[in-house]
């Protein structure tokens, strides 16, 4: 597919998706959001891809929503706004539905929806120059769509604080709040991101996919029923070619050759 607002490349089982509107600080325009959805789904369905990296071109990760598009909303009907809103939420549903781990490589400011993407990602590594925040209330908006992911990442009290203060926090505070997992010097971000991605990609793709399934399916499940579901799910793992290969490789002291089966 020919993308106009993002860059897409696959190397060594890793799909790198770069939001590519640097002069605008990579806002989540309708076009960019649609292409992000397509690219993430494409990577998730590609049997050769084991990890997805999300990052931004230029100095920003993503400045969040596009103000010019917000202004245009004043002229739209409620049904039209509802349809467009439903389409935009598809991006943030992907974090719970894809079977391929997403790593956010936060190269600079990630504000509003940008913070939402970071919170949605399964792993997040940030430059020490990164800044995050739910700045919507400063504009008379509410972080409706991203609130579930932010709350899930930082907890109820922190989410309320971030929303009501609209504070922009630095990378250290973002790590303390558990919005990001790691902080690295800015000039080492790309190297450290790829090292993390390669670590995840080195594991059995079937086992990783099953692990993602187990995590998200049991999250809202009754506690006792979750054991039954996981007991059934592990039968797939026990009879998989990857488990046989992993055990053989361990005993033979060699690198496993995963088939994802």
| pLDDT at residue number 255 | 87
Q: Tell whether 196 and 221 lie within a shared domain.
A: no
CATH no. for residue 149? Answer: 3.90.226.10
| pLDDT at residue number 238 | 86
Q: Tell whether 213 and 179 lie within a shared domain.
A: no
Q: Tell whether 132 and 193 lie within a shared domain.
A: yes
Q: Tell whether 218 and 191 lie within a shared domain.
A: no
Q: Tell whether 114 and 243 lie within a shared domain.
A: no
Burial 118-145 (b: 16+ CB within 10 A, else e): bbbbbbbbbbebbbbbbbbeeeebebeb
Question: Which residue shows structure tokens 């005993």?
Answer: 251
Q: Is 23 a catalytic residue?
A: no
Q: Given 3-state DSSP classes, what are the helix, strand and coil percentages for the chain, each rounded to the nearest 5?
A: 55, 15, 30
- Total domains in the chain come to 2
Tokens of 116: 């939402």
Q: Does a structural domain hold residue 145?
A: yes
What are residue 105's phi and psi, to 5 degrees?
-105, 95
Q: Tell whether 156 and 29 lie within a shared domain.
A: yes
Tokens of 119: 């919170």
CA 28 from centre of chain: 14
Question: Which residue shows structure tokens 């598809």?
Answer: 90
Please compute the mean of the pLDDT values over residues 36-60 and round it to a whole number.
Answer: 97
* C-alpha distances out from residue 174 to 111, 162, 179, 182, Å: 12, 11, 5, 10
Label residue 254 exposed, middle or buried (CB < 10 Å: 0-12, 13-18, 19+): exposed
Of the residues 136, 191, 219, 252, which is catalytic?
136
Q: Tell whether 67 and 172 lie within a shared domain.
A: yes
Instruction: In whole angstroms, give the CA distance from residue 222 to residue 86.
Output: 29
- Is the entire prediction scored with pTM above 0.85? yes
pLDDT > 70? residue 72: no
Q: Tell whether 192 and 104 lie within a shared domain.
A: yes
pLDDT > 70? residue 71: no
| pLDDT at residue number 70 | 59
pLDDT tens, position by position, 178-222: 999 999 999 999 999 999 999 999 999 999 999 999 999 998 899
Q: Does a structural domain hold residue 1?
A: no
Q: Tell whether 225 and 188 lie within a shared domain.
A: no
Q: Does a structural domain hold residue 257?
A: no
Q: Does a structural domain hold residue 124?
A: yes
Domain that holds residue 209: 205-251
Q: Tell whether 66 and 179 lie within a shared domain.
A: yes
31 Cβ neighbours under 8 A, 6+ residues apart: 4, 5
Q: Tell whether 185 and 163 lie within a shared domain.
A: yes
Q: Tell whether 13 and 129 lie within a shared domain.
A: yes
- Pairing relationship of beta strands 110-111 and 131-133 according to DSSP bridges: parallel
Q: Does a structural domain hold residue 52?
A: yes
Q: Does a structural domain hold residue 261?
A: no
3 Cβ neighbours under 8 A, 6+ residues apart: 20, 35, 39
């Amino acid at each position: 597919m020919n993308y106009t607002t993002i860059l897409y490349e696959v190397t060594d089982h890793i799909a790198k998706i770069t939001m590519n509107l640097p002069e605008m600080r990579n806002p989540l325009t309708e076009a960019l959001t649609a292409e992000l959805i397509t690219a993430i789904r494409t990577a998730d369905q590609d049997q050769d891809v084991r990890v997805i990296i999300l990052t931004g071109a230029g100095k920003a990760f993503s400045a969040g929503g596009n103000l010019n598009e917000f202004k245009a909303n004043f002229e739209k009907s409620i049904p039209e706004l509802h349809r467009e809103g439903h389409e935009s939420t598809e991006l943030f549903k992907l974090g719970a539905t894809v079977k391929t781990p997403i790593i956010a490589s936060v190269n600079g400011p990630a504000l509003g929806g940008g913070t939402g993407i970071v919170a949605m990602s399964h792993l997040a590594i940030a430059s020490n120059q990164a800044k995050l925040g739910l700045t919507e209330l400063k504009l008379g908006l509410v972080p409706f769509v991203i609130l579930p992911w932010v709350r899930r990442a930082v907890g109820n009290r922190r989410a309320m604080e971030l929303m009501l203060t609209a504070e922009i926090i630095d990378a250290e505070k973002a790590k303390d709040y558990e919005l990001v997992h790691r902080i690295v010097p800015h000039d080492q971000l790309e190297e450290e991101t790829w090292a993390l991605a390669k670590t995840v990609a080195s594991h059995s793709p079937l086992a990783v996919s099953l692990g993602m399934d187990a995590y998200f399916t049991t999250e809202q499940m009754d506690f006792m029923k979750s054991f039954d579901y996981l007991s059934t799910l592990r039968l797939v793992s026990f009879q998989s070619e990857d488990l046989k290969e992993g055990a053989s490789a361990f005993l033979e002291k060699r690198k496993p050759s995963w088939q994802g089966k």
